[in-house]
């Protein structure tokens, strides 16, 4: 076993160093706060001493949990062929999420009670529940953290940082519109309940693709249930100078898509449907019938309660793959549902919208930002 001591400012720094030097399977043996010596000792912030180890035997019998860490592409222990940076990040991230889930499951399967440390654990679980993180997820996060650091009051900042690191890992991959894909056009369809902001969000994305990325975009609306809905997209299409095709029957989709065969992107708006509607799947099947390949954004409002989000997500179970897109973050007071739905669905997060203004009020779902949103109300 190789043991190494690190002096760092916080747990994030420790994890990055441990990962880059000892590798993904390193475990933390001990942490403690220490004061710097010398003339400036009274002015300096305490440092953190972290002792970490890596078992150099291939099969580890230790009960300690490997450190879940950030996705810097610096594998050191194992010699690997040299993949591209993107490949490296992707595969490393996937390994990490898989390791994390495995870890969590092994923790879940342990029947032993948490014992003497139950109280501080409960306190932190409560903090996460206050942030609207669902209890099972809160428990998993705290159990992982608890096996690595002492949950005592005086460690509060370190504990919160470790919680954020784990929560960040749970957020998984972010998947926005793919740019520079070979073969075109790529087709994106916006689905979701009524009034969540599908049309507005589609207009924001179309505007960005056309105006910022200089891409050729075509819009299609299949929402002809309301005259106002067509008018709404027509107005955006005119302002943005992006062509729009309106389809009244599913079989017209074929012609509309062919019409846009030279575009880089085709964005398809759909009518909002109550998730309780029986036609949800048949409407979708009918449209998808006429498309070779389609990417789905499931648009959800951040102001929707977890129970309702869960029932909406259940009603879209027939979708195998989609991207989660949250709207109305500007109207929400808590953001735990971002983490909850990501864990519930296993689907990637994509964009957030943060207001009514087209095209400004949209941002890529950046993980640091999400963690800030979720934890900003923590006191
Ligand atoms: N505050 C806020 N309002 C938003 C946001 N996105 C959309 N809206 C507003 O939500 C309302 C509904 O937006 P639409 O884009 O028409 O929603 P939709 O999902 O297309 O609605 P249907 O087609 O009727 O199902 C509009 O008033 C939008 O301006 C957002 O991020 N924040
Ligand atoms: Mg609409």
Is residue 328 in contact with ligand 1, taking CB distance under 6 Å?
yes
Cα end-to-end distance, the chain, whole Å: 40
Q: In what order do the strands lie in the sheet with 186-191?
A: 244-246, 217-221, 265-269, 186-191, 295-301, 323-327, 349-353, 362-364
User: Tokens 């991959």 sit at which residue?
Assistant: 173
Q: Residue 285: CB partners within 8 Å, gap ≥ 6?
A: none
Kindly list the domain boundaries of the chain, sorted by start residue.
2-170, 186-368
| Confidence category of residue 153, pLDDT binned at 50, 70, 90 | confident
The overall average pLDDT reported for the chain is 82
Closest C-alpha to 311, from 170, 207, 193? 193
In the chain, the percentage of residues whose pLDDT exceeds 70 is 79
Beta strands in 281-360 (DSSP E): 295-301, 323-327, 349-353
d(Cα 259, Cα 257) in Å, to the nearest integer? 5
3-state secondary structure of 53: strand
Ligand 2 centroid–CA 270 distance in Å is 7
Crossing angle of helices 135-146 and 156-170, rounded to 10°: 120
Is residue 287 in contact with ligand 1, taking CB distance under 6 Å?
no
Is residue 200 in contact with ligand 1, taking CB distance under 6 Å?
yes
Strand pairing partners for 7?
49
Residue closest by Cα to atom 13 of ligand 1: 197
Per-residue model confidence (pLDDT) at position 88:
47
Q: Which ligand 1 atom sits closest to the C-alpha of 269? A: 20
Ligand 1 centroid–CA 361 distance in Å is 12
DSSP annotation of 310: H
Strand pairing partners for 8?
48
Give yes or no for residue 320 having a pLDDT over 60: yes
d(Cα 36, Cα 106) in Å, to the nearest integer? 39
Q: Residue 23: CB partners within 8 Å, gap ≥ 6?
A: 54, 75, 76, 77, 78
Q: Select the CATH number that applies to the domain covering 186-368 from these four: 3.40.120.10, 3.40.630.30, 3.40.50.2300, 3.40.50.300.
A: 3.40.50.300
Q: Which ligand 1 atom sits closest to the C-alpha of 299? A: 19
Q: Residue 261: CB partners within 8 Å, gap ≥ 6?
A: 185
Q: Residue 195: CB partners within 8 Å, gap ≥ 6?
A: 272, 301
Please tell me the least confidently modeled range out of 213-217, 227-231, 270-274, 375-379.
375-379
Is residue 194 in contact with ligand 1, taking CB distance under 6 Å?
yes
Q: Which two tokens stand for residue 191?
A: 């689905």
| Model pLDDT for residues 85-99, shown as the tens digit of each residue | 444 455 555 565 566
d(Cα 18, Cα 72) in Å, to the nearest integer? 12
| Alpha-helix runs per DSSP H in 214-291 | 227-240, 252-259, 280-288
Q: Output 61 or 123, whichever has higher pLDDT.
A: 123
| Confidence category of residue 178, pLDDT binned at 50, 70, 90 | confident
| Confidence category of residue 328, pLDDT binned at 50, 70, 90 | very high
- Phi, psi at 265, each rounded to 5°: -135, 140
Is residue 356 in contact with ligand 1, taking CB distance under 6 Å?
yes
Give yes or no for residue 291 having a pLDDT over 50: yes
Angle at 28 between CA 26 and CA 34, to 5 degrees: 135
Per-residue model confidence (pLDDT) at position 47:
81
Measure Cα distances from 170 to 69, 107, 111, 121, 248 in Å.
Answer: 11, 16, 24, 19, 41
Residue closest by Cα to atom 29 of ligand 1: 356
d(Cα 245, Cα 260) in Å, to the nearest integer? 9
Contact 320, 347 (CB under 8 A): no
Per-residue model confidence (pLDDT) at position 57:
55
d(Cα 11, Cα 91) in Å, to the nearest integer? 24
Is residue 327 in contact with ligand 1, taking CB distance under 6 Å?
yes
Ligand 2 centroid–CA 370 distance in Å is 26
Q: Which ligand 1 atom sits closest to the C-alpha of 329? A: 31
């Amino acid at each position: 076993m190789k043991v190494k001591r690190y002096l760092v400012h916080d747990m994030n720094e420790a994890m990055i160093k441990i990962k880059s030097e000892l590798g993904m399977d390193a475990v933390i043996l001990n942490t403690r706060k220490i004061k710097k010596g010398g003339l400036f000792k009274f002015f300096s912030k305490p440092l953190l001493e972290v002792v970490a180890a890596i078992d150099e035997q291939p099969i580890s019998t230790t009960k300690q949990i490997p450190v879940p860490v950030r996705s810097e592409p610096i594998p050191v222990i194992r010699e690997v062929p040299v993949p591209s940076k993107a490949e490296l990040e992707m595969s490393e991230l996937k390994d990490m999420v898989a390791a994390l889930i495995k870890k969590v499951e092994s923790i879940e399967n342990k029947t032993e009670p948490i014992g003497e440390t139950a109280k501080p654990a409960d306190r932190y679980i409560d903090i996460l529940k206050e942030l609207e993180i669902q209890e099972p997820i809160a428990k998993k996060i705290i159990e992982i953290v608890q096996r690595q650091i002492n949950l005592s009051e005086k460690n509060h900042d370190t504990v919160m940082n470790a919680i954020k690191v784990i929560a960040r890992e749970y957020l998984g991959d972010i998947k926005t519109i793919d740019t520079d894909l070979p073969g075109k056009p790529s087709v994106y369809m916006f689905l979701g309940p009524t009034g969540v902001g599908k049309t507005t969000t589609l207009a924001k994305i179309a505007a960005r693709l056309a105006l910022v990325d200089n891409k050729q975009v075509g819009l299609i609306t299949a929402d002809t249930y309301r005259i106002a809905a067509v008018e709404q997209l027509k107005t955006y299409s005119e302002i943005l100078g992006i062509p729009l095709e309106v389809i009244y029957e599913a079989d017209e989709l074929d012609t509309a898509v062919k019409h846009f065969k030279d575009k880089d992107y085709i964005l398809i708006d759909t009518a909002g449907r109550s998730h309780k509607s029986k036609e949800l799947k048949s409407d979708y099947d009918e449209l998808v019938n006429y498309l070779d390949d389609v990417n789905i954004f499931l648009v959800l409002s951040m102001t929707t309660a977890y129970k309702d989000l869960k029932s909406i997500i259940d009603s879209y179970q027939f979708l195998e793959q989609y991207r989660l897109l949250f709207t109305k973050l500007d109207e929400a007071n808590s953001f735990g549902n971002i983490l909850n739905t990501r864990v519930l669905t296993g689907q990637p997060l994509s964009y957030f919208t943060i207001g009514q203004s087209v095209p400004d009020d949209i941002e890529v779902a950046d993980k640091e930002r999400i963690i800030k949103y979720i934890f900003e109300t923590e006191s």
